């Protein structure tokens, strides 16, 4: 991985031009870049007026400098994406996700503490390496929804029947136990192994509307379900 020295990253300028921003940078012993977290003050303040749903994701950087971009993205009152914070790390692992989620918790505690009540903030992710554990440690008890698109793609690697997609999405949309059971039985009729894979890798409490832990929250669960299906 090609990494810059700290001369390329003038952190003081970011804070000076954006007062109240949270910027954390770590470096190696030889003063080379290790990882960087940025949350602009305007984003942190604005997040308090967003829906209590936060999407976490990681993406590979493929420019001059490689690495992983970690991001936390909310949705505003209009349902549009609202970037909250991002970080650049060398690899996506347990340590970096925990580091990211710990600082993110501090930001939310400072600017949107109402979201930190039990079950007050819902997370959506594609279950990336180290992410589930980091969220549970930093935001214990927060409902965590799985991205349905990624869930289906992972299942499809071993269970190829195209009919499974429709039944999986019907199960996710279910608002009653009977609807869920019917969709799962149809999946089982097509490929019993797919249901076994699903039960092993993705408990229904993380992706089915009926069973989702946030069902009692005063948020639009149809919007949440849309985020799950769109890969938010």
Each residue's pLDDT tens digit, 145-186: 888 888 999 999 999 999 999 999 999 989 899 999 999 999
pLDDT at position 213, please?
63
Shared domain for 134 and 106, answered yes or no, is yes
Question: Is there a single domain that holds both residue 118 and residue 158?
Answer: no
- The verdict on 102 and 170 lying in the same domain is no
Longest dimension (CA), the chain: 61
Q: Residues 95, 183: one domain?
A: no
Q: Are residues 126 and 22 in the same domain?
A: yes
Instruction: Count other Cβ atoms within 10 Å, centred on residue 157.
Output: 8
Tell me: do 167 and 151 sit in the same domain: yes
Domain closes at, from 96, 115, 142: 142
The residue segments making up the domain with residue 54 are 1-142
Single residue among 142, 169, 204 that ends a domain in this structure: 142
The predicted-structure confidence for 126-149, as pLDDT tens digits, reads as follows 887 789 999 999 999 898 888 888
Other C-beta atoms closer than 10 Å to the C-beta of 68 total: 20
Q: What is residue 217's predicted lDDT score, i.e. its pLDDT?
A: 46
Domain co-membership, 72 together with 159: no
Residue 94 CA to residue 103 CA, distance in Å, equals 14
Q: What residue ranges of the chain have pLDDT lower than 70?
A: 1-9, 213-232
| Domain stop point among 142, 170, 203 | 142
Number of domains in the chain: 2
Q: Are residues 136 and 195 in the same domain?
A: no
pLDDT of residue 9: 53
């Amino acid at each position: 991985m090609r990494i810059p020295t700290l001369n390329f990253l003038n952190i003081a300028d970011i804070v000076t031009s954006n007062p109240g921003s949270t910027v954390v940078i770590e470096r190696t012993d030889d003063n080379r870049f290790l990882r960087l977290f940025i949350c602009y003050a305007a984003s942190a303040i604005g997040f308090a007026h967003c829906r209590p749903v936060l999407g976490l994701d990681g993406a590979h950087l493929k420019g001059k400098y490689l690495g992983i971009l970690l991001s936390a993205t909310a949705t505003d009152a209009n349902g549009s994406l609202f970037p909250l914070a991002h970080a650049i790390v060398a690899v996506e692992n347990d340590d970096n996700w925990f580091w990211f989620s710990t600082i993110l918790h501090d930001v939310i505690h400072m600017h949107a503490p109402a979201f930190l009540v039990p079950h007050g903030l819902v997370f959506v992710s594609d279950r990336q390496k180290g992410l589930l554990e980091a969220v549970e440690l930093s935001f214990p008890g927060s409902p965590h929804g799985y991205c349905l698109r990624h869930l289906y793609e992972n299942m499809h690697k071993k269970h190829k029947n195209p009919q499974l997609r429709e039944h999986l999405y019907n199960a996710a949309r279910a608002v009653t136990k009977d609807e869920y059971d019917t969709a799962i039985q149809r999946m089982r009729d097509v490929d019993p192994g797919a249901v076994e894979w699903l039960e092993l890798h993705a408990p229904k409490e993380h992706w089915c509307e009926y069973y989702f832990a946030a069902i009692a929250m005063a948020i639009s669960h149809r919007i949440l379900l849309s985020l799950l299906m769109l890969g938010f």
